[in-house]
């Protein structure tokens, strides 16, 4: 039933145009539909007119009129796409500028709070220290959000800066899993690894891959219920190293599969268990992995769990 509904929604031109916040006559989808209808009508009309009138002048006139109309609609379609491209570029510019302007004061605020908390001569009451710690945590969250927005802007511009080098994925996985061990234990989740022996070194930006894997494990913990299991696996596959994060969590509904790597997207199923989140992590992860020469994907069954995987090229000796 859900698949049928999604199929029908694909033909809801008005709804699609509203998503772009533009009028119907600026919407490429609507204009393509109008062009198709005109072509069908004209083909039928040409056939009947050709049968009724022996003179070619009528047919030529009709074809000239239709050609002019199609040319105008084609021009409107191009303008529609051009407008959407400009709008997307403007939004990307705004995000980039705003993020740059916000990151510096937020970073300074965080450093100032950390200095205050470390100052033993501050003389603050326990309640005041609690408030400062709360501000510190929220400023850290804001800095993370700003950095994510900057990464999104760079990925969309194709200007994501990578510093690739050869490294062994085994150590990176071990370090991240150790960092999450306490969090997993607090959520009553069994977190384990299965890393093949003698894995070849990979060639990518270790800091960015750390960010990707950290995001995948964090998501797995967030959406795995108590007494669940998470397995982080790494193995060699052809000329790549395949890394996967498998959980026994809530899973992803099939209707959300095509949207899962879109920016700002969070499925309704996920928001039932975690209200916080920006929906940027998987978009950024996909951008980093593809820029590193690898692929990223997932398999999932709602209520059973999800496995996210990515590949990285190995160093050829």
- pLDDT, averaged per 10 consecutive residues of the chain (317 residues), comes to 56 64 65 73 70 65 72 71 66 65 74 80 80 80 78 80 90 93 90 91 92 92 87 93 93 87 79 70 92 93 91 82
* 86 C-beta neighbours (distance < 10 Å), count: 10
| pLDDT, position 159 | 79
CA angle, 28 as apex, 23 and 31 as ends, to 5°? 85
Residue 88 is predicted with a pLDDT of 66
**pLDDT at position 198:** 87
The pLDDT value recorded for residue 226 is 78
Per-residue pLDDT, 24: 65
Whether domain 165-313 has CATH 3.30.565.10: the reply is: yes
Domain ranges in the chain are 1-159, 165-313
Instruction: Quickly list DSSP for 264-293.
Output: T---HHHHTT-----S-HHHHHHHHHHHTT
Question: Is the distance from CB of 289 to CB of 215 less than 8 angstroms?
Answer: no
Q: Which of 302, 307, 303 is nearest to 253 (CA)?
A: 302
Q: Do 270 and 250 meet the contact criterion of CB atoms below 8 Å apart?
A: yes
Residue-level pLDDT at 98: 66
Contact yes or no for 115/135 (Cβ under 8 A): no
């Amino acid at each position: 039933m859900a698949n049928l509904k999604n199929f029908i929604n694909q033909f809801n031109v008005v709804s699609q145009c509203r998503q772009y916040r533009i009028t119907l006559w600026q919407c490429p989808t609507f204009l393509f539909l109008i062009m198709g209808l005109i072509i069908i009508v004209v083909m039928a009309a040409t056939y009947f007119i050709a049968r009724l009138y022996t003179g070619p002048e009528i047919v030529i006139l009709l074809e000239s009129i239709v050609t002019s109309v199609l040319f105008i609609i084609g021009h409107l379609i191009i303008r529609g796409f051009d407008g959407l491209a400009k709008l997307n570029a403007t939004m990307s510019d705004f995000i980039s500028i705003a993020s740059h302007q916000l990151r510096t004061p937020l970073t300074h605020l965080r450093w100032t709070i950390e200095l205050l908390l470390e100052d033993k001569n501050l003389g603050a009451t326990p309640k005041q220290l609690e408030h400062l710690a709360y501000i510190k945590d929220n400023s850290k969250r804001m800095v993370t959000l700003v950095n994510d927005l900057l990464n999104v802007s760079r990925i969309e511009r194709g200007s994501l800066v990578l510093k690739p080098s050869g490294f062994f994925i085994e150590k990176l996985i071990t370090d991240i899993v150790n960092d999450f061990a306490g969090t997993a234990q607090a959520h009553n989740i069994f977190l384990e690894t299965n890393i093949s022996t003698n894995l070849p070194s990979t060639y990518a930006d270790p800091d960015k891959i750390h960010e990707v894997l950290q995001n995948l494990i964090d998501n797995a913990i967030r959406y795995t219920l108590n007494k669940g299991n998470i397995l982080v696996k790494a193995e060699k596959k052809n000329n790549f190293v395949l890394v996967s994060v498998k959980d026994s969590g809530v899973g992803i509904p099939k209707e959300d599969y095509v949207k899962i790597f879109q920016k700002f997207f969070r499925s309704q199923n996920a928001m039932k268990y975690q209200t916080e989140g920006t929906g940027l992590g998987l978009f950024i992860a996909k951008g980093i992995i593809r820029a590193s020469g690898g692929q990223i994907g997932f398999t999932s069954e709602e209520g059973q769990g999800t496995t996210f995987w990515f590949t990285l090229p190995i160093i050829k000796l």
